[in-house]
Amino acid sequence: MNSKSKSRLVELRRDLHERPEIGWREFYTTGRIVEELEAIGPDELYVGREIHREERLRPPTDEQLASARERARETGVDEGLLSKVEDGYTGALAVLRKGEGPTVLLRVDIDGLPQSESDGPDHQPAAEGFRSRYEKRMHACGHDAHAAIGVGVLEAVKESDFEGTFKVLFQPAEELGAGAASVVGSGHVEDVDSLLAVHVGLDVETGVVIPGIESFLAINGFEATFEGAPAHAGNSPQEGAHAIQAMSTAVGNLHAIPRHADGATRVNVGRVEGGTATNIVPESASLEGEVRGTTTELREYLEEHAVRVLESAAELHDCEVDVAFRDGAPSAECDDALVDAVSAAAAGHDATVTPDEGDALGGSEDATRLMRAVQRNGGDATYVGFGASNPTGHHTATFDVDEAVIPLAVDVLTDAVRSVATAE
Amino acid sequence: MNSKSKSRLVELRRDLHERPEIGWREFYTTGRIVEELEAIGPDELYVGREIHREERLRPPTDEQLASARERARETGVDEGLLSKVEDGYTGALAVLRKGEGPTVLLRVDIDGLPQSESDGPDHQPAAEGFRSRYEKRMHACGHDAHAAIGVGVLEAVKESDFEGTFKVLFQPAEELGAGAASVVGSGHVEDVDSLLAVHVGLDVETGVVIPGIESFLAINGFEATFEGAPAHAGNSPQEGAHAIQAMSTAVGNLHAIPRHADGATRVNVGRVEGGTATNIVPESASLEGEVRGTTTELREYLEEHAVRVLESAAELHDCEVDVAFRDGAPSAECDDALVDAVSAAAAGHDATVTPDEGDALGGSEDATRLMRAVQRNGGDATYVGFGASNPTGHHTATFDVDEAVIPLAVDVLTDAVRSVATAE
Amino acid sequence: MNSKSKSRLVELRRDLHERPEIGWREFYTTGRIVEELEAIGPDELYVGREIHREERLRPPTDEQLASARERARETGVDEGLLSKVEDGYTGALAVLRKGEGPTVLLRVDIDGLPQSESDGPDHQPAAEGFRSRYEKRMHACGHDAHAAIGVGVLEAVKESDFEGTFKVLFQPAEELGAGAASVVGSGHVEDVDSLLAVHVGLDVETGVVIPGIESFLAINGFEATFEGAPAHAGNSPQEGAHAIQAMSTAVGNLHAIPRHADGATRVNVGRVEGGTATNIVPESASLEGEVRGTTTELREYLEEHAVRVLESAAELHDCEVDVAFRDGAPSAECDDALVDAVSAAAAGHDATVTPDEGDALGGSEDATRLMRAVQRNGGDATYVGFGASNPTGHHTATFDVDEAVIPLAVDVLTDAVRSVATAE
Amino acid sequence: MNSKSKSRLVELRRDLHERPEIGWREFYTTGRIVEELEAIGPDELYVGREIHREERLRPPTDEQLASARERARETGVDEGLLSKVEDGYTGALAVLRKGEGPTVLLRVDIDGLPQSESDGPDHQPAAEGFRSRYEKRMHACGHDAHAAIGVGVLEAVKESDFEGTFKVLFQPAEELGAGAASVVGSGHVEDVDSLLAVHVGLDVETGVVIPGIESFLAINGFEATFEGAPAHAGNSPQEGAHAIQAMSTAVGNLHAIPRHADGATRVNVGRVEGGTATNIVPESASLEGEVRGTTTELREYLEEHAVRVLESAAELHDCEVDVAFRDGAPSAECDDALVDAVSAAAAGHDATVTPDEGDALGGSEDATRLMRAVQRNGGDATYVGFGASNPTGHHTATFDVDEAVIPLAVDVLTDAVRSVATAE
């Protein structure tokens, strides 16, 4: 791609990096992307509610929405745009109608994480002035670059000889494991013949392309709410049923669910809250956690154990517990034809093509929901990784990506999209 | 007292009952009380910041203040008054200068609790329409009645033959164990010769007066903040140091600190919070708890154990912990002269006088800080209990008081105050 | 008493001190006591099985019996005697028939504890050569002195003007909370009009007599056996149900059962065992614990919570648990007539008589079962304490008693027994 | 092999199956094997102490030895043989000197497990009358068949054209992770050019041979002894430091050590014991556990975490802990030359040769110590698996092997041994 486009995409990535937003609250992010898309001029553009089913996983609270809207307004998001997303249905889908041919979908995700970014002098975003403006908000997984890549590919495909329909999905709420399921429910992927999902970083050097990543862990999240009985902690502790003690018993034992010989498993309690004041035996407490496994069976093994641990821990302290699982995400399978198409495209740009060596083991991706949806309809799908020489691991305060990955990914994906059309 | 005064005080109590406010945020409450006081016309009236030292225990957050201010404005609190308390230094002190004589202080507390009130048909405040307007806010310990009693005694003493100086302290933040220490630091109690503190309810019938309660538990609160290391819960769980696991290990073991043969002990973790998202090994978590014991030595025993549990639990999960204790409150000793004065006054109103039979065991009171301060200066103090036939225990959703206690307490306390002056 | 008798009793006490035996295995102890009794010549002498019902609480295992028998033989216990107790029904009851008059029972207990004795130079038994010969066996609660006192009183009453029937019960298995229930079942206490039980030490100085101790805690013991499923810990950890994890979850939560505002409570898990090898997920584990409370209600509160904790902890780890409670012991009530008789006797020997100031709080005593049995039949009972200037607490490795307590207790109890007969 | 030999080996296997013995106590087992070996007549025969270094890992207690010796005598073990092993140095090594040629070692292990065997009608050993005679003793891992195979190969190689030195090691204490290290220390493997270790079962069908298993987990065991302070559980619980609570805190948290993204990990606390009586705050408690990982680094990760958990849990309850790790075992690497030799031999007997597909994942083997020792000296080693259609998993009560594996393994291993000599 030309250097003018390249510098524009880098600028876009840095702009988004500076204003990370949590899933279902990507107000500024969606607005900024839509601005770019409108400049390119797709044939159709769907924003916010138009790309989602009504029922979402992990919707934000009214308070969270209010706070995010306020911040978006302060940042100067256009009110017209804001009106389309302010209820928390975020993201966008651009469509190019370029004659007869297959329907190809490129999916990128756009949300940030609820963690603070490093301000160390060695951290590039800090050194170059585009570190996150907000406490407890950070693009620590490269979704800022994904958004830029999506814009770049849209523009390049528009200008290319591609024949068919090309869609780029700027998906929200990936980190919540929620956005993909919602888009699947909207019907926008039903006509897709080929799906390309993309991720940068992966602890791999820039210039390396992994055309078919399958080593994602199946995942599911859950929330558990413990209800006990309040009591004065001094006068009548015996009359309470201590919800925080129940929750704490569960936390320890959840992490101690037996390992499984059939493959890798993960358990994490990532969030807890409970009680009101030190002198009241706490009546309620809640936790949010997740389980992952290399197969769906392992995930189910963990889910089953987790329920038993949660219910027994509640009972142990004379409390009740309500356990709600999310929809989760399965593991991925990549189709050879698409993997080959990406490999060829990568080779054409002097990239080093390597197979998935389990590098993603431990990670999960709700793109797998989109992949399964496309495959169920007879389409093909793959998940493409682009090394970006990230200095530290994903989800850490000093995560960053080598911006050289942006033009390379645009070029390789554009060529892969083109070759898919040709192959038909 | 006459029935007009009585019905006014009941009205005041119900008005406050309907609008309970948490400690350091008693904006409406202070305003309403000041209104009553101004109607009586004390010689001096100190409001908000004027009765506190600068450094407070457990100050509210800016956010909590903002939210409480907003609610107070909606309820129509006068802006002039609000300006005196809006920084969270609440409460008031009224002073009568009635010639030569001793300085007597009556202390009542005015704050509510962070719990929801019952809306059951058998619950008097619900049945008669003065149930708390707010979720998670309730006068579940009778401080609404205390405020009314304080107003009533001020008026009665003003009109009486009392000679000397009489002060009524409407103390905020008792439930936080914070208000008394702050008032002691202001100097307003340095000249006090006799201090009467008062509580209603106590699971005792209306008509019973306990002139000297000493069975309060010494208490202290603490906050512990655990800091671990974040990590992606799927990709690299081994790189995290799990602050929520550390906290959970502490919770279980805090409640299991050995009982002590020298007397009653209490431990409660009343509030926890931690983590950000299910897919991040949580980096931080915090808890708030308290310990109580029949003696200061027992409280110290618990404090010492609590620190060891917290620090070891942190270390166990490779985390750090910061433990901050509050100032706490000691146990009480009542002076015979005052106890006798109250007994005589109670007998004069056909009340049944009973000694403290440990009825308050389990409760704690930061009035004990005021009592110790007065006693250190050579003054006398006592803590007076008035039975109020409360249907259920303190700090429960159906707690209520028999309003007949209000005129009785006003009468008994007024006479006790008068007799103190005479006795000099 | 004369110095010859006194030195003989001290010698007896030291001989028993050197050879402590656990409850239901007091082979040497019973033999040595019987020897002394036969020298005195009671009218009737019941040994071993003759003073017990068949069904005992906490009977020893065959292995424990075999090992104790072997040790007894090595120590030279007479085979004839051993044949009467070798099945573990230990202890003895001596009866004097001295004409018409009331039946008075003196109860002393004779068993030791499973702990090792100090060999420090300041520990009298070590310094003077009568320290326990055995590891993990110690008279750390003064029962050696009790046995000597029992012998002394039998002799003194025999030689006295007492008229009536006098029994001295040398009760086994007090520390197991088991011996008294068994003797009650034998019928030997059915005709008793007055019961005196006795204890020395109590952290009180020699010369002090407490004629009626009531502050024992009600107690109950329990055993819980967890059954899970075994599995190879490396090949298939997921197939196991980890009995030791279940038990550990229970241990932590048992000690964290909420304190109770109505009085003192105690919980202790005193013994655990489980599993077979490091490479097998443990299939079974068991614990032994106890609960105590100032009232029977509190004990029941704890029992109820303990069962829930144990069952839920088992369920949490997919295990089953079998919980078996023992018979326990209630709290004591002393009859005034007997308390007065002891007080008078004590005063007659220049002892300092003091009421029970809760000094025994925390301790429990299965003598309370005998007391209740006698009282149910219309008899009187009391529990008498004799201070013995013990240098460190009961059940510690350096516990000891001032032997001067032995003649004093013999004299006071003898006079009390005599006065009971006279009073009739 | 001929059917007479075959039936003799099956008889031997069943005889051993009926009398399983724990590591370092294989008295009957060693005696019975030596009897067979003497019938074959090796050139040299080393028994018991002669094949071990002095310092052993996990030696048995005197009591365990005494009990095992007694059982061996009851079973009629020859006193001459018993004198060679009664101190617990068990096992045997037979040597054939057959001229010039390489030194080949076949290693089989002979110990049983501390678990009870099924008596269900579908369990072959129960149905056919050779179920374990003892409670808590079982050949649940096929070492009985290994011993028979070792005897069979010795006889077959003796009668074969093999030229060189052939040793068969009947190694004790494999399940303790202790026997191999001891034999390495004896020097008997220093001259070995080729080592074949063998295992049957592996959840694979009879007829399948895996010529080179490498997927063993690195392993280490540990013992932790907690020391607290005793106290009377009723009188002075506050004076105790509760070793069982400390241990329980450790148990829960050991199993909750974070999973690791680099590979499989295992943690198991397989044995606990603590305390003496319900009324004493337990002074001491101990646990035995193990950790495993796919690499040495993972094992070290677990060891490091385990130490921190154990020490912090002790500190949390004011106890001390002593942690002792064993020597552990590394993972295995198989040499191609030997793997090929076994493959060729297996093919020659119509066996199905399959590579290691991680079937052994989760298991560990102290044979890896012998393999490393041989490889360090320039020799080759491999670990050969023979499927035996085991109906249920290793280390379960219904584990069994298809005895058809015995002649197949003898034939394949004999041919492999012969071919090694030829290849030189």
Would you write out chain A's pLDDT as a tens digit for each of its 424 residues?
777 789 999 999 999 999 999 999 999 999 999 999 999 999 999 999 999 998 887 889 888 898 899 888 888 888 888 888 888 999 999 999 999 999 999 999 999 999 999 999 999 999 999 999 999 999 999 999 999 999 999 999 999 999 999 999 999 999 988 899 999 999 999 999 999 999 999 989 999 999 999 888 889 999 999 999 999 898 889 999 999 999 999 999 999 999 998 889 999 999 999 999 898 999 999 999 999 998 888 999 999 999 999 999 999 999 999 999 987 787 778 999 999 999 999 999 999 999 887 655 567 888 999 999 999 999 999 999 999 999 998 888 999 999 999 999 999 999 999 999 887 5
How is residue D240 written in tokens? 């105790």
* Nearest residue, CB atoms, B258 vs list D240, D262, D316: D240
B290/A279 touch (CB, cutoff 8 Å), yes or no: yes
Name D11's Cβ contacts closer than 8 Å, sequence gap at least 6.
Answer: none
Q: Does C48 touch chain D (CB under 8 A)?
A: no
C-alpha span between A286 and A273 (Å, rounded): 5
Q: Under a CB-based contact definition with an 8 Å cutoff, are residues C154 and C213 in contact?
A: no
Model pTM score: 0.79
Closest to A362 (Cα-Cα) out of B147, D231, B231, D201:
B231
Chain-chain contact of D262 with B237 (C-beta, under 8 angstroms): no
- Rounded Cα–Cα distance for residues C271 and D275 (Å): 4
Q: Which residues of A touch B282 (CB under 8 A)?
A: 269-271
Question: Looking at chain B, which residue has its C-alpha nearest residue C259?
Answer: B266
Share of chain B above pLDDT 90, in %: 77
| pLDDT averaged over every residue in chain C | 93
Residue A102: name the closest of A16, A183, A194 by CA: A194
Between the CA of residue C13 and those of C114, C180, C379, C406, what are the distances in Å? 18, 22, 31, 9
User: For residues B132 and B151, what is the distance between their CA atoms, to the nearest angstrom?
Assistant: 21
Amino acid present at A106: L
Is the CB of A266 inside 8 Å of chain C's CB atoms? no
Determine if residue C123 is labeled as part of a ligand binding site.
no
Domains, chain A = 3-216+332-423 (3.40.630.10), 218-325 (3.30.70.360)
Residue D142 corresponds to which tokens in the numbers above?
A: 């096929």
> Tens of pLDDT along A65-101?
988 998 888 888 888 888 888 889 999 999 999 999 9
Mean pLDDT to the nearest integer, B95-121: 96
- What residue of D is the nearest CA neighbor of C269? D278
DSSP letter assigned to residue C52: S
| A and D: number of Cβ contacts within 8 A | 29
Min distance C292 CA to chain B CA atoms (Å): 11
d(CA C160, CA C153): 10
C313 contacts in chain A (CB < 8 Å): 312, 316
Residue contact A363–B234, C-beta within 8 A? yes
Nearest in space to D241 (alpha carbons), one of D155, D312, D314: D314
Backbone phi and psi for residue C51, each to the nearest 5 degrees, phi listed first: -110, 10
Q: Test D258 with B281 for CB contact under 8 angstroms.
A: yes
Give yes or no for B264 touching C (CB within 8 A).
Answer: yes
Residue D263 contacts C where some CB pair is shorter than 8 Å: no
Subunits in contact with chain A (3 or more CB pairs closer than 8 Å): B, C, D
Angle among Cα D27, D33, D37 to the nearest 5 degrees reads 140
- Quick one: how far is CA D104 from the chain centroid? 21
Q: Do B264 and C264 touch (CB under 8 A)?
A: yes
**CA–CA separation, D206 vs D200, rounded Å?**
9
Structure tokens at D327: 């020597």
Please report the pLDDT score of residue A360 as a whole number.
Answer: 59
Average pLDDT over residues C235-244: 93
* pLDDT at residue B362 greater than cutoff 80: no
Chain B residues within an 8 Å CB radius of A231? 393, 395-396
Q: Is the CB of residue D209 less than 8 Å away from at least one CB of chain C?
A: no
Q: How far apart are CA D123 and CA D125, in angstroms?
A: 6
CB D376 within 8 A of CB D386: no
Name every residue whose Cβ is closer than 8 Å to that of residue A108 and which is 6 or more positions away in sequence: A143, A146, A147, A149, A150, A168, A169, A170, A171, A197, A198
This model of the complex carries an ipTM of 0.76
The pLDDT value recorded for residue A182 is 93
Asked whether residue B214 carries a pLDDT value surpassing 90, the answer given is: no
Q: Cβ(B275)–Cβ(D296) under 8 Å?
A: no
Q: What is the DSSP letter of A113?
A: B
Asked if B315 lies within 8 A of D313 by C-beta distance, the reply is: no
Segment B5-30, tens digit of pLDDT: 899 999 999 999 999 999 999 999 99
* Whether the predicted pLDDT of B120 surpasses 60: yes
H runs (alpha helix) in C75-159: 79-85, 124-127, 143-158
What is the per-residue pLDDT across C277-287, written as a single tens digit (0 to 9) for each? 898 999 999 99
Binding-site residues of A for Mn(2+), please?
141, 143, 175, 199, 395
Report in angstroms the alpha-carbon separations of B333 from B361, B375, B419, B424, C415.
14, 9, 21, 21, 44
pLDDT for residue B417 is more than 70: yes
Handedness of CA B147, B151, B154, B159 (dihedral sign): negative
Residue D267 has pLDDT above 60, yes or no: yes
CA–CA dist C2, C25 (Å, integer): 33
DSSP letters spanning A295-318:
SHHHHHHHHHHHHHHHHHHHHHTT
Determine contact: D70 vs chain C, CB below 8 A: no
What is the H or E stretch that residue C298 is in? Answer: helix C296-316
Pairing verdict, β B44-47 and A208-210: unpaired
* pLDDT score of C211: 95
Position B177 confidence tier, pLDDT thresholds 50, 70, 90: confident
Burial of B223 (0-12, 13-18, 19+ CB in 10 A): middle
Whether C7 has a pLDDT exceeding 90, the answer reads yes
Residue C216: per-residue pLDDT: 84
Task: Say if residues D341 and D415 touch (Cβ distance below 8 Å).
Answer: no
Taking CA–CA distances from D310, the nearest residue in chain B reads: B316
- What average pLDDT does range D65-75 have in this prediction? 89
Q: Indicate the range of A395-399, C21-25, C125-129 predicted with least confidence.
A: A395-399
d(CA C227, CA C318): 9
> Is a pLDDT exceeding 80 seen at residue C82?
yes
Asked if D259 and A267 come within 8 Å (Cβ–Cβ), the reply is yes
Percent of chain C with pLDDT over 70: 98
Alpha carbon of B395: minimum distance to chain D alpha carbons (Å): 30
* Cα–Cα dist C285/D238, whole Å: 27
Asked if C252 reaches chain B (Cβ–Cβ under 8 Å), the answer is: yes
SS3 of residue A349 by DSSP: coil
For residue range B266-286, what is the model confidence (pLDDT) as tens digits? 999 999 999 998 989 999 999
Inter-residue contact B286 to B268 (CB < 8 Å): no
Residue A389 C-alpha, separation from nearest chain C C-alpha, in angstroms: 37
DSSP conformation class of A259: P
In one-letter notation, the amino acid at residue D59 is P
- Parallel, antiparallel, or unpaired: how do β-strands A218-227 and D218-227 relate? unpaired
The string of pLDDT tens digits covering residues C199-228 is 999 989 999 999 999 888 889 999 999 999
- CA angle, residues C398, C399, C400, in degrees to nearest 5: 115
- Measured distance CA(D330)–CA(D366) in Å, rounded: 8
Q: With bands split at pLDDT 50, 70 and 90, how would you rate the model's confidence at D146?
A: very high
Residue D387 region by backbone torsions, left for phi larger than 0, else alpha for psi between -120 and 50, else beta: beta
Nearest-angstrom CA–CA distance, B212 and B332: 9
CB–CB contacts below 8 A, C to D? 207
Provide the residue type at B7 as one letter.
S
Residue A201 gets which letter from DSSP? E
Distance from CA of A171 to the nearest CA of B (A): 18
**Sign, CA torsion A135/A136/A137/A141:** positive
Angle, CA of B164, B169 and B174, to the nearest 5°: 150
What pLDDT, on the 0 to 100 scale, is given for residue D333?
84
Average pLDDT over residues B342-370: 85
- SS3 category, C385: strand
- Residues from chain C that touch A249, judged by Cβ atoms under 8 A, are 249, 252-253, 316
Taking the Cβ of residue A19 and every Cβ of chain C, the question of whether any pair is shorter than 8 Å is answered with no
CB contact under 8 A, D258 and B235: no
Specify the range with the lowest mean pLDDT, choosing from A308-317, B206-215, B399-408, D144-153. B206-215
Q: Choose among B386, B344, B369, B370: nearest CA to B194.
A: B370
Please give the DSSP secondary-structure letter assigned to residue A58: S
CA of C297, closest CA in chain A: separation in Å? 12
Contact between A313 and A249 (Cβ < 8 Å):
yes
Mean pLDDT, residues B319-329: 89
- Quick one: pLDDT at residue D3? 75
Q: Which residue has the higher pLDDT, D357 or A136?
A: A136
CA-wise closest residue to D388 among D372, D399, D373: D399
- Looking at residue D358, what is its pLDDT? 66
Here the tokens at position C145 are: 């002195």
The closest alpha carbon to C289, from C320, C328, C258, C263, belongs to C328
**Sequence-distant (≥ 6) Cβ neighbours of residue B308 within 8 angstroms:** D315, D316, D318
Residues 6+ apart with CB under 8 A from A350: A207
Instruction: List chains touching C (3+ CB pairs under 8 A).
Output: A, B, D
pLDDT in tens, C361-420: 567 888 999 999 999 999 999 999 999 999 998 888 999 999 999 999 999 999 999 999
Question: How many of the other CB atoms lie within 10 Å of CB of A314?
Answer: 27
